[in-house]
Structure 1
Amino acid sequence: MPHALRILLASLVTTMLLVTGAMASEPADPRPFAASYRLEINGWPSARVEHQLTRQGNHWQSDMRAAIAMARGSESSRFRIGDDGIRASAYHSGYSLLGIGGKYRLGHDDLASLPDRQTALFELSRQAVQARCDDDQPPCEFRYQDHKGREETLHYRVVERSELTLPAGNFDAITIESWDPEHPERRLIFSFHPELPGLLLAIDYRREGERKSRLTLTELSLSE
């Protein structure tokens, strides 16, 4: 199973994080959306990824699903935004390759200290807009839990603020480069929309400078 496929299925295009770097003004308020992406992995046919952010009373829920040939994966996270920040309350995921896989669950007690990666991805997209860790500053550090509840730490830096032209249209973007400090040769480059928390515009996975996979936004539908 290619390393890029393991990363993108194991985290369903995410592996992100609660930011602890210095921040400026308040991040944008969330807005429900439904998005579709094209996932391209070297040596595999392209696949479609579905992503929804919905509001359910006082909570928000982020859902992602993907299928690549005979491999499938899904993640769902439920969280609440309050005066004290974002609090994750439930996480579910499942993966399968050639019919072999597993299901994982984290509950409220498991998520008391660190968020699951879907909740953390949402928080990263909000806070990266204000992050002060570019080429002239030390990298930001963030912590989260993987699908098995194991603590993970990643570093990131802001690399660009620009406009991206994608199949879904033209978008303002904030782009960050992230890496595991124990494996700096593996890089995930995320592009987020500054005013739509949780929305991914694009992701590149690179290893030793070579791009192994890419996720691109192809469709976007916004809800009130």
Structure 2
Amino acid sequence: MSSPLLRCLWLAALLGFAIPALAATAPQPFSARYHLEITGWPDAEIRHRLSHEAGHWQSEMRAELPGASGREWGRFRLEDERVRSLHYAAGYSLLGIRRAFSLDHRDLAPLPDRQSALIALARRVIDAPCRVDCRLRYRDHRGREEELRYRILAREPVSLPQGRFEAVRVALTEPGKANRRLVLELDARRPGLLLAMEYHRDGRRRSRLTLTELAPD
């Protein structure tokens, strides 16, 4: 990861993937704010918005650090209950250095971008959870193909300052890197909304994300 901003967005977008879901829970527009703590970096505030217009959806995240800012967004459609990625873009500014990345529908035809895949992940684990050998593929911000394995840990209610939620807890690991694990809590009623997240490496928690604000969009 080339900057703390894209690291923040990478964690918040959670390394997504494309999986179809039958009779999947419908997305709901929302605006959320998260607080992200990363060992060795300043804390970050992440704004997350899922919106719907002109027949497509857009998931957007913005992160802010002292002296830096970053943004990542993905546009997608729902076709026969499948998430179909249309466009992805990301960019950041760090100490006057700017970088930008973009993927179009041709790049994303076989695999989704990270933002669109966040919705696909939530719909998959909410409605048709995989039980054995769950392998996930996606495009990173540079368009490179990546793979993860995931496992559902629990589905149970949780109480947060923003209210009471039905949460699905999911663990993700990368093949060949068993010392790294991402644990997510996803809202079972709003696909794409993160309730909490922790990243562990070498037996230690390296980052933690918490939901701090939530409003319908």
TM-score scaled by length of structure 2: 0.90
1:51 aligns with 2:48: yes
Deviations for 1:13-50, whole angstroms, at most 9, x for unmatched residues? Answer: 224222559x7x62211110000111112244432110
Instruction: Give, in angstroms, the shift of residue 78 of structure 1.
Output: 0.5
Deviations for 1:171-199, whole angstroms, at most 9, x for unmatched residues? Answer: 11000000111322111111111110111
Matches within 5 A, 1:74-113: 74-83=71-80, 85-113=82-110
Distance 1:36 1:201, change over 3 A: same
Cα RMSD of the aligned pairs, angstroms, is 2.3
Structure-1 separation of matches of 2:50 and 2:19? 24
Structure-2 separation of matches of 1:145 and 1:15? 12
2:205 to 199, 202, 211: 211
Matches within 5 A, 1:60-209: 60-83=57-80, 85-129=82-126, 130-133=128-131, 138-209=132-203
Instruction: Give, in angstroms, the shift of residue 58 of structure 1.
Output: 0.8
* Contact 1:7 1:13 (8 Å CA) reproduced: no
* Contact 1:12 1:74 (8 Å CA) reproduced: no
* Contact 1:35 1:219 (8 Å CA) reproduced: yes
Structure-2 separation of matches of 1:66 and 1:90? 20
Structure-1 separation of matches of 2:31 and 2:5? 25
Structure-2 separation of matches of 1:116 and 1:174? 22
Secondary structure of 2:209 counterpart: strand
List structure 1 runs of 4+ shifted beyond 6 angstroms. Answer: none
Distance 1:140 1:179, change over 3 A: same
Distance 1:165 1:209, change over 3 A: farther
Structure-1 separation of matches of 2:7 and 2:50? 19
Structure-1 separation of matches of 2:75 and 2:179? 32
Instruction: Give, in angstroms, the shift of residue 132 of structure 1.
Output: 3.0
Structure-2 separation of matches of 1:123 and 1:188? 17
What amino acid does structure 2 have at the position aligned with 1:115?
P
Q: How many residues matched?
A: 216
Secondary structure of 1:75 counterpart: strand
- Structure-1 residue corresponding to 2:28: 31
* Contact 1:168 1:220 (8 Å CA) reproduced: yes
